[in-house]
Amino acid sequence: MNDNNNLIYEIKQIEGVEIDVLCNSLKALQDEYLRFTNNRKKIVIKEIRKGSGIFEFTDLLIVSAISFMEQSNTILQFAEYLAAVKDVILKKKEKLPNEMKLTPTTVDNLNSMCSPVMFGNNNILNINVGQLAKITVNNDDYKEISKHKKQIIKETKTINNSFSKNYIYEKVLFQWVQARFDNKKIGNQAVIKRIQEKAVKVIFADDNSETKTEMTTSTHGVDWQNIKYIVDVEIMVDNDRILAYKILKNYPYDSIIEENNNIELF
């Protein structure tokens, strides 16, 4: 990638910032980038510069992606997205672009990213892409973000839990946590962290489909229950409670196999 497209995360006054705060801020940045790219790309450190706390990141493709993602400047899009999240939280904008949903996890991640500014006098966090300034957060901004955090999370939980019966997520990461396709009492369940942490029942739109076969059949010597799948899923809801995930489509060539903590492509 061109260095001018790298993500620059700069804490003006790094001295005195507690280690756990710094680590949590960088972890939140990575987590949100993974969420933004649907777990297709991650950011990795290219350089840590002298002076202020300046971290330069580039991105790395972790699963096979459609061509536009490989060719587009995802980091620039991500920085613009973070700037929009900040503006929505601070009530400078009403909503995110492209019908994107503001989730409680994103609000919490932005709060963690900005938390180092609470150390030092008039500390400032800058997030740039190359020479392009995208986000500036000072101590007053952080206090406002923190002040509104609980209310925003409460509001977004209400919005995001008010699913219509046919609410659909496209290309989300799906992980089996329990699977049994017989008549025993305990059924098959999975987690989709982008939607919620809790495991729920899984059904298929068509029990005779190729999708079900792909997601319930071991291949290449790998147990199908140990594969992380990329799927389109419909949320089955009753009184704002998710009852089941209905699997509509599987993207088998985007699946992820984790063996000995190493990520491999399926």
One-letter amino acid identity for 68?
F
Q: If you write DSSP's letter for every residue of 147-174 in order, what string do you get?
A: HHHHHHHHHHHHHHH---TT-EEEEEEE
Q: What is the pLDDT of residue 186?
A: 56
Domain boundary assignment for the chain: 3-161, 168-265
Provide the token pair at 50: 């002298």
Q: What is the pLDDT of residue 23?
A: 93
Burial of 215 (0-12, 13-18, 19+ CB in 10 A): buried
- Give the rounded percent of residues in the chain with a pLDDT score beyond 70: 82
- Give the rounded percent of residues in the chain with a pLDDT score beyond 90: 31
Taking CA atoms, 142 is separated from 89, 123, 124, 148, 241, in Å, by 11, 10, 10, 10, 33
Residues 106-118 have a mean pLDDT of: 91
Q: What is the pLDDT of residue 104?
A: 77
Q: What is the pLDDT of residue 98?
A: 77
Residues 119-144 have a mean pLDDT of: 90
Q: What is the band of 22 on the pLDDT scale with cuts at 50, 70, 90?
A: very high
Q: How far is 190 from 163, CA to CA, in rounded Å?
A: 19
Q: Give, as one character, the DSSP assignment of residue 123.
A: -
Q: What is the pLDDT of residue 158?
A: 52
Task: Please tell me which residue, 203 or 257, carries the higher pLDDT value.
Answer: 203
One-letter amino acid identity for 52?
S
Q: What is the pTM of this model?
A: 0.59
* 29: pLDDT strictly greater than 90: yes
Q: What is the pLDDT of residue 178?
A: 75
Residues 129-151 have a mean pLDDT of: 87
Q: What is the pLDDT of residue 224?
A: 86
Q: How far is 104 from 141, CA to CA, in rounded Å?
A: 19
Q: If you write DSSP's letter for every residue of 178-191 in order, what string do you get?
A: E---SSSSS--EEE
Per-residue pLDDT tens for 51-99?
778 999 988 876 544 444 454 578 999 999 999 999 998 889 888 887 7
Provide the token pair at 254: 């985007």
106's enclosing H/E stretch is helix 104-114
Q: Minimum mean pLDDT among 31-35, 99-103, 225-229, 257-261: which range?
A: 257-261
